[in-house]
Amino acid sequence: MVHVARAGRRPAPNPIADDGDERRFCSTCAFGSVCLPAGVDKSALNELHMLVEHVGPYRAGDPVFHHGERFGAIFAVRSGMVKTRLNDADGREQVLGFHLPGEMIGLDAIHPAQYPCDAIALDTVYVCRFSFPALATLAARIPDVQQQLFRLLSADIGKAARYAGDHTADARLAAFLLDLAGRYAARGFAQNAFRLAMPRADIANYLRLAAETVSRVLRRFQDQGLIGVDGRDVELKDVAELRRLARSLLHA
């Protein structure tokens, strides 16, 4: 992280995927589980490490890749948050998703070898870049790498359509917060307190709500004691009630 060191300062509240070492991948990385099964060939692991490139920092608003750009690599977010989006013919933005530390972006570009969207840093972002030709070659040789790649690909399918149905604003926002909490938990981070790095307009766009509706519902959640909001920091206080509100989406 780029914090000026000062006595007494704890790590920033926004988590960073740990950097791993030559024996294991970052424990928080979506690709890291490749290395977890016992008996992984050490030389294979080394080869995998060889093709990872640390890139960054990107500043808020910087693109990690552009729509239409030739596909050459997939990325894992190391720290910060990345937004994927598309602009329609009229230039209207459609937010496709938010990507947390440890999560992969660019998987949907494998076919037709072009990035189908823009990936934009929402705050200070570092990523790991996996050259795809090299990764594909490695996957052909090492079953664990291939399996993990398939797992990631199938998990990526159908993620985008989640908020397309007919759901109330309460359900959308409750599901959105629980989804983020779950994803932070899956990577081993604190799950009930996190930072919303994205502007509220992006949350609104993603959930297909008006920006003022996002704020109105969050304020009501706060007044009801379901969440606490302090600037961009959110704390989930009544997960059970949020689950109840989100049930139409969670079971969809």
| Contact residues: another protein, CB under 8 A | 6-13, 196, 199-201, 203, 211-212, 214-216, 218-219, 222, 229-232, 234
- The CB-of-222 to another protein minimum distance in angstroms stands at 7
Let me know: does 102 contact 187? Beta carbons within 8 Å: yes
Evaluate whether 138 touches 44 at the Cβ level (below 8 Å).
yes
Q: Which is nearer to another protein, 24 or 200 (CB)?
A: 200
Q: How far is the CB of 199 from another protein (least distance, A)?
A: 3
Smallest gap from Cβ 235 to another protein, in A, equals 10
Q: Which is closer to another protein, CB of 95 or CB of 214?
A: 214
Q: Which is nearer to another protein, 97 or 199 (CB)?
A: 199
HSE-CB of 152 using CA atoms within 13 angstroms: 23
DSSP line for 55-66: EEEEPTT-EEE-
Reduce the DSSP state of residue 250 to 3 states and report it.
helix
**What's the min distance (Å) between Cβ of 214 and another protein?**
7
Which residue, 13 or 225, has its beta carbon nearer to another protein?
13
With a CB cutoff of 8 Å and minimum separation 6, the contacts of 87 are 67, 93, 94, 118
Phi-psi map region of 20: left, alpha, beta (phi>0 left; psi -120 to 50 alpha): left
